[in-house]
Amino acid sequence: MLAKKPKTAASKEAKAQRFISPSNGTTPKRDLKDVIIGFDRSLLERLDRTAQSMGLSRTAFVVNAVAEKLMTLEGRAG
């Protein structure tokens, strides 16, 4: 019987990086800045469940969501 390969933290992080990186396969030099954001407990629990169901870290999910929202808002303004 075949079993599904278990997901490791490293493979989840690699998937998250592919998710938020450019589609052309290049990895730009990144100037990252740590930030502290407060979330309502119930919102954070929803965020974590959704990110986990997508195989993403909390950070990858939040970064992607913010990037998508900014593109939407900037598209309206331009």
pLDDT in tens, 35-56: 999 999 999 999 999 999 999 9
CA atoms of 39 and 59, how far apart (whole Å): 13
CA atoms of 23 and 38, how far apart (whole Å): 31
What dihedral angle (degrees, nearest 10) is formed by the CA atoms of 57, 54, 4, 27? -60
CA atoms of 3 and 1, how far apart (whole Å): 7
DSSP character for 24? T
Predicted pLDDT at 28: 66
DSSP character for 11? H
Per-residue pLDDT of the chain (78 residues; tens, 9 = 90+): 555 555 566 666 676 666 666 555 566 677 889 999 999 999 999 999 999 999 999 999 999 999 999 999 998 765
pTM (global) more than 0.75 = no
Tell me the domains of the chain and their CATH numbers. Answer: 36-78 (1.10.1220)
